[in-house]
Chains A and B, each alone.
Chain A
């Protein structure tokens, strides 16, 4: 087989086996290295993140920048379509944004309708104006509850996310004023329309003895009912509405004055509230006077309460009992008895207790085993539902101390084939050496993860040791993989811990494929090389019967010049020696009749020929030596040795000529 053919065969094997293997390995490595690309994340792997306080603050700031009572267009555009967004039902912020969107839409509609009504009045289209005012009233009725909701929702947002909503509240108040302005304009339009129909305009005023009142505190409101010319209207009923759906009716005196003593009941929400006085013409007044109303804003406040409390112990372990003691009073030290104090731990409900006659209370709880290491907060809350005092609370921090553990991890081998068994063992120990190990044996279990996928559990022995034997999947990809062990203690006061190591996995199917390919290549190559060499030996030798029979070689053809030229035709020195040996065999066969046998070695052939022609021993022995050197020696054959082989062959030819 020619060298070119061998090269072609080798190339085919390389292309056929090595390149596809390389393609697969390269693709696999590339895919792993690009596990998280710039363009997309694996959605199923993403962890759920909740908006932080900073996020909520940023959202409210973004809204604040857009809320402008002078021009609500930007806010309306910003919030258009917001109602379509899915949001969690119990999130007050979503409700707040949605309500604000609806409120803004309504305000826009009121503004537009007001302008339309004014235009209708100006152009004398009274009927159309009346219809528009009716629509305005409906719009106002729909918008008012939205405004109230905005305040309460903002409160809930503040308490839920623990953020400051003062700026947002100011914007709300500005929107509230705008709403009052629109409301007044609607009333004015309504009155104007009725005046146009021959009614007398009435004016109602309303005042209060105090601008800020406590719950349950009695205060006085008073006012006057007059016509627009200043004539007092006596003996008319004035309806005063305050608190939650509370109304009282008072009669005006000869000066048109009315007054009433009011108070806000326990349970009424603190803050700014409205008191409204209304005059509705009755009987004969219906055909003579227009209705009128007036309102005033008043601040309702609760008396402040104060909780002084302490917690013991301040450092505890899970399942330990912790005691909270304290006292509830007003700021003027008046004890508040028989009040319920609600206890929360990190925002979750723990239980409640009641104050005694001196306002004192105590509460005991067991530290939950799920609590993490570090500082936690107990909140003692006094809620004032149905009380005349304001709510208060006390924050009591305490520290949960867990025992730190650590995992020492060992694997029985750092590199292995996929599908093989891997033994993962190790020990769990306490980091805090002052802890008495004898009193608490280790317990719990460890979970073994391969590339963050759980592969099994093992129980931790009393001495902290663990062993887990697992079989790696046959298809585990080629390369480095992480083995992570996570210790989950049974005892709640021991902190879980974990550690990881890396192993290198050879993908067995890939290795088998590559091995088969390599072995096939080596065997094919070896076979073809040996076959080539043997063919070179036999080509010139007349031992092949068929060649001898069909084309007998004559001694004349093996002249001195022919031998030199035959050897010279070979390219490398080794081939020249092998050629010389083959020609020597041909000479011996032709002259002495000793045919080389396929089964015998060169030395055996030499021994056999020596028996027939001992005279050529030296030359043939040297030639056999050179041949064995060329055929079997790993060392390179020099030109001196090939030249010597030619000379020995020529000498052998001469010696054979003389053999009888």
Chain B
């Protein structure tokens, strides 16, 4: 076959596109707290806790009106006015929002919603009640609530705590042990300026007909931590409040530039694959494709023969 410029260009483009798409499809999602990241720092286990999962790539599409749990875990980008307004509408309509953050950007949402609590942004450790090391404090002081039902102990991973400015508008659901302290220098040991006290780590704020649940540690929901103690039970309780429907915010996660596009590509490929191989029309679709290929090959040969006759070759 004689390679013309156009053919070379087409070949290079197809090769490039195939390589790019293959890489985009197969390269794993590695972002922390991402629901499709199966590694230790991903949230694939909580995402798989329900069959009714929606990944939220943008707040331009309105959130559903029926009860759902909107999980915002480990936000790293600030919330815009439009996003805050959308979340407020969702809450007022009876939705449940889980905002799990420690040193991220969750406070921009709390400020926008004008609630009487915010994440302290200071690390919390425990002198005595911890798992493995003081930076993994255990939480066993709970207020009775559907959110804390059957939850005896939680384990956190380098959490912050929640600063409550007006306790009458915020329900404290869980606090650290009286021997926890703000580990300002991060050495896991208490210093004279690091106050030993009990700090709130889980609160509930009613907004409209909905609930805004604040957890001062996103890492308690990552794959490595979720199966420890009653961490999964807490998430299941939240999920139950949201009618077993989970909307996972990936808009505010810290991501590599093409991650969202790659996820969409994966979804499209999955959709196409399901349509081609697993749908009730798959047999017909496959037949049509085979027929088209045959017709095109035959037509191509016919055109070549006709052209050969015209040029005398």
Chain A residues at the B interface, C-beta cutoff of 8 Å:
1, 5, 8-9, 12-13, 15-17, 19-20, 23-24, 27, 30-31, 37-44, 46-49, 51-52, 54-56, 58-59, 62, 78-82, 84-87, 93-94, 517, 520, 524, 527-528, 531, 546
Contact = CB atoms under 8 A, between A and B. Distances in A.
B107 interface: no
14 contacts: A16-B19, A19-B20, A20-B24, A31-B30, A42-B40, A42-B224, A43-B132, A46-B132, A47-B133, A58-B179, A78-B198, A82-B141, A84-B142, A527-B3
A40 B190 contact: no
Q: How large is the interface on B (under 10, 10 to 19, 20 to 34, 35 or more residues)?
A: 35 or more
A104 B27 CA distance: 58
A52 B188 CA distance: 11
Interface string B283-311: 00000000000000000000000000001
A125 to B, nearest CB: 34
Interface string B1-31: 0010100110111011101100110010010
A54 B222 CA distance: 32
A13 B152 contact: no
Given A23-B258, A59-B128, A84 B158 contact: no
4 closest residue pairs by CB, A with B: A16-B16, A40-B219, A81-B141, A84-B140
Given A16-B16, A39-B104, A40-B41, A81 B128 contact: no
A24 B133 CA distance: 34
Contacts of B177: 82, 85
Contacts of A1: 5
A5 B5 CA distance: 8
Given A38-B103, A41-B136, 15 more contacts: A9-B5, A12-B16, A15-B16, A16-B15, A16-B16, A17-B19, A20-B24, A39-B102, A49-B132, A49-B133, A51-B127, A58-B127, A59-B128, A78-B178, A82-B140
B141 A9 contact: no
A13 B189 contact: no
A528 to B, nearest CB: 6
A85 B30 contact: no
- Please indicate which of the listed interface residues B16, B24, B135, B179 has the most CB atoms of chain A within 10 Å of its own CB: B16
Given A39-B32, A39-B74, A39-B158, A81 B23 contact: no
B109 interface: no
Given A13-B16, A20-B19, A527 B8 contact: yes
A518 to B, nearest CB: 13
Given A13-B16, A38-B103, A40-B158, A86 B138 contact: yes
Given A8-B9, A37-B32, A62-B178, A51 B16 contact: no
Nearest to A78: B178
A491 B132 CA distance: 33
Given A12-B9, A59-B179, A527-B3, A23 B132 contact: no
B218 interface: yes
Contacts of B135: 41, 46
B203 interface: no
Contacts of A59: 127-128, 179, 196
A81 to B, nearest CB: 4
B224 A58 contact: no
Chain A contact surface mostly: helix
Interface string B251-274: 000001010000000000000000
Interface in B18-72: 19-20, 23-24, 27, 30, 32, 40-41
A200 B137 CA distance: 60
B30 A16 contact: no
B134 interface: yes
B203 to A, nearest CB: 16
B12 A9 contact: yes
A458 to B, nearest CB: 32
Interface of B: 3, 5, 8-9, 11-13, 15-17, 19-20, 23-24, 27, 30, 32, 40-41, 74, 102-104, 127-129, 132-136, 138, 140-142, 152-153, 157-158, 177-179, 188-190, 196, 198, 218-219, 222, 224-225, 228, 256, 258, 311
The secondary structure that dominates the B interface is: loop
A16 B17 contact: yes
Contact of A49 (B102, B104, B134, B157): B134
A15 B9 CA distance: 13
B40 A44 contact: yes
Given A55-B128, A86-B138, A43 B19 contact: no
B62 to A, nearest CB: 30
A23 B23 contact: yes
Contacts of A94: 128
Given A58-B127, A85-B138, A46 B133 contact: yes
Contacts of B158: 39-41
Residue of A20, A527, A531 with most chain B CB atoms under a 10 A cut-off: A20
Contacts of B27: 23-24, 27
| Chain B CB within 10 A, most for which of A86, A517, A527 | A86
Given A15-B20, A49-B133, A55-B189, A82 B9 contact: no
Contacts of A39: 32, 74, 102-104, 158, 218-219
A9 B198 contact: no
Contacts of A49: 132-134, 188
Contacts of A24: 23, 27
A53 B196 CA distance: 16
Nearest to B132: A46
Contacts of A19: 20
Contacts of A517: 19
A43 B219 CA distance: 10
A521 to B, nearest CB: 8
Q: Which of A1, A9, A13, A39 has the most CB of B within 10 A?
A: A39
Nearest to B225: A43
A15 B27 CA distance: 17
Nearest to A84: B140
Contacts of A56: 128
B15 A520 contact: yes
Given A5-B5, A24-B23, A84-B152, A55 B190 contact: yes
A72 to B, nearest CB: 14
Contact of A93 (B9, B30, B128, B141): B128
Given A24-B27, A39-B104, A520-B15, A46 B141 contact: no
A419 B132 CA distance: 36
